[in-house]
């Protein structure tokens, strides 16, 4: 086949590959949705992180404002330290509350932020002091059973 | 009886030694390709011809298979997901299965049977008709002139083909899921975008297909170069290319997935 025709087809082939990659990156993936260069890192301690994983979203009012970039066990406080990389466009007051929540019943865990009323904003390296652990289903059930068991003798007396 | 048993042991030993020998000479051949690949980049026209040969000519089968695999995934996925009332997760299911596994693996298997066998047959036939020896006599290195452009053409084509496969598969799933069954179009795309990560899913998919591309073309060129210079030798080499590279793709896929998945470590 003539050289020019081969070049044309190979060019079309490469363009098709690039178009497919762009489609995957922009339409299918979250590239661009979260690629902020302007970021700051904050940490938070939780008694129990449940099923939280790295790369889980950090949401406030349901909007993704950052990602969990590190989870480690604090050997001094015996709890979990979660590192979050926050999008610099979103600033939060220093007394913001962080909670580990679940999207839907079977959904993945994420960190939910509830803004406080403080005047100073969270800065690079700050720690979120007010935290709420993940809800562990077994604990709720055992508390429920425990309270039911306490109720039962009261009813028997009546 | 004893002789028969001894023959049997001898056969196992010979097979094992032969397999190890082939692995060694295949690896040496891969190094030779890398050593002599200067020409494929200085005269990039050679490589472009091979990209046409193994990449462009495989586009049809890749596009059609991708479309159908995506469609079937959408049908099967919908069937299971609707039990839990989470049809809108269909996009996630299809996109992640295609990007993480099916895209790179199925397109590499197709590539091995469509382009790998053709590469082996071409090089094997050039050897059988003594074209390679003729080049050697004319002081043209056959590895640099023929084999390395084939290798780089395949290595460049493979990630492009896998990307097209995944994109077509997702499009096929869109056709079945959204257009035909009626899953909400907004949920289909937005849930997919929420779950698919550029670095961990799309880039890993490209890395996988690049590794598969190297494996398939290295095996294909080696089998062609190593083929016995007869009609039977070339046909045997072609068959071995498809079998060996398919098995290697699946084994490499297990290893790469083990490295890449973050859920269990």
The answer, yes or no, to whether residue B83 has pLDDT greater than 90, is no
Contacts of B174 in chain A (CB under 8 A): none
B192, closest residue in chain A (CA to CA): A28
- State pTM to two decimals: 0.75
Count of H-run helices and E-run strands, chain B = 13, 0
- Look at strands A39-46 and A79-87 and give their pairing: antiparallel
Spell out the alpha helix ranges (H) of chain B.
Answer: 2-35, 38-42, 44-54, 59-81, 90-97, 103-111, 117-128, 131-137, 142, 148-174, 185-195, 204-226, 231-260
Q: How much is the pLDDT for B248?
A: 94
68-107 in chain A: CB under 8 A from chain B:
106
3-state secondary structure of A101: strand
Q: Cα separations (Å) of B229 from A33, B8, B94, B217?
A: 56, 29, 46, 20
Is the CB of residue B49 less than 8 Å away from at least one CB of chain A?
yes
Closest CB to A30 among B45, B59, B197:
B197
Percent of chain B with pLDDT over 90: 66
Instruction: Please name which of B65, B95, B84, B79 lies closest in space to residue B173, comparing C-alpha atoms.
Output: B95
The answer, yes or no, to whether residue B186 has pLDDT greater than 80, is no
More confident residue, B162 or A29: B162
CA angle B226, B139, B48 (to 5 degrees): 70
A35, closest residue in chain B (CA to CA): B198
CB contact (8 A) between residue B202 and residue A21 = yes
Residues in chain A with pLDDT < 50? none
Q: How much is the pLDDT for A1?
A: 66
- Minimal C-alpha gap between A155 and chain B (Å): 40
Q: How much is the pLDDT for A153?
A: 66
Per-residue pLDDT tens over the stretch B85-121: 788 888 889 999 999 999 999 999 999 999 999 999 9
The answer, yes or no, to whether residue B265 has pLDDT greater than 80, is no
Contact B48, B150 (CB under 8 A): no
Instruction: Provide ipTM, 2 decimals.
Output: 0.80
Torsion of CA B212, A35, A58, A108, to 10 degrees: -20
The answer, yes or no, to whether residue B145 has pLDDT greater than 70, is yes
Q: How much is the pLDDT for A158?
A: 56
The answer, yes or no, to whether residue B21 has pLDDT greater than 60, is yes
């Amino acid at each position: 086949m003539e050289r020019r025709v081969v070049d044309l087809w190979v060019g079309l082939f490469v363009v098709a590959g690039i178009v497919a990659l762009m489609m995957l990156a922009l339409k299918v993936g979250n590239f661009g949705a979260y690629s902020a260069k302007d970021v700051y890192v904050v940490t938070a301690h939780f008694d129990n992180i449940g099923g939280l994983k790295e790369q889980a979203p950090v949401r406030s009012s349901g909007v993704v404002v950052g990602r969990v970039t590190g989870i480690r066990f604090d050997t001094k406080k015996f709890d979990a330290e979660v590192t979050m990389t926050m999008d610099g466009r979103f600033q939060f007051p220093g007394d913001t509350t962080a909670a580990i929540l679940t999207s839907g019943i079977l959904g993945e865990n994420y960190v939910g932020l509830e803004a406080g009323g403080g005047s100073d904003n969270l800065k690079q390296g700050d720690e979120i002091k007010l935290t709420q652990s993940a809800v562990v289903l077994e604990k709720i059930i055992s508390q429920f059973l425990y309270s039911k068991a306490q109720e039962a003798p009261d009813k028997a007396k009546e | 009886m004893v002789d028969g048993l001894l023959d049997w042991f001898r056969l196992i030993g010979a097979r094992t030694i032969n397999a190890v020998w082939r692995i060694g000479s295949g690896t040496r051949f891969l190094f030779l390709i890398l050593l002599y690949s200067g020409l494929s980049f200085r005269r990039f026209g050679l490589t472009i011809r091979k990209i046409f040969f193994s990449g462009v000519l495989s586009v049809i089968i890749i596009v059609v298979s991708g479309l159908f695999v995506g469609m079937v995934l959408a049908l099967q996925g919908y069937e299971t997901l609707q039990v839990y009332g989470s049809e809108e997760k269909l996009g996630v299911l299809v996109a992640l299965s295609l990007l993480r596994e099916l895209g790179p693996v199925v397109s590499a298997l197709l590539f091995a049977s469509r382009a790998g066998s053709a590469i082996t047959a071409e090089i094997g036939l050039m050897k059988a008709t003594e074209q390679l020896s003729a080049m050697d006599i004319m002081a043209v290195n056959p590895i640099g002139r023929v084999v390395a452009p084939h290798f780089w053409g395949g290595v460049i084509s493979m990630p492009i083909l896998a990307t097209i496969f995944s994109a077509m598969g997702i499009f096929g799933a869109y056709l079945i899921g959204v257009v035909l069954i009626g899953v909400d179009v907004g949920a289909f795309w937005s849930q997919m975008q929420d779950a698919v990560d550029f670095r961990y899913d799309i880039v890993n998919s490209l890395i996988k297909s690049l590794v598969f591309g190297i494996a398939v073309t290295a095996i294909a060129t080696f089998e062609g170069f190593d083929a016995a210079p007869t009609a039977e030798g070339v046909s045997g080499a072609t068959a071995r290319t498809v079998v060996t590279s398919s098995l290697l793709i699946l084994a490499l896929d297990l290893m790469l997935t083990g490295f890449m998945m973050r859920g269990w470590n």
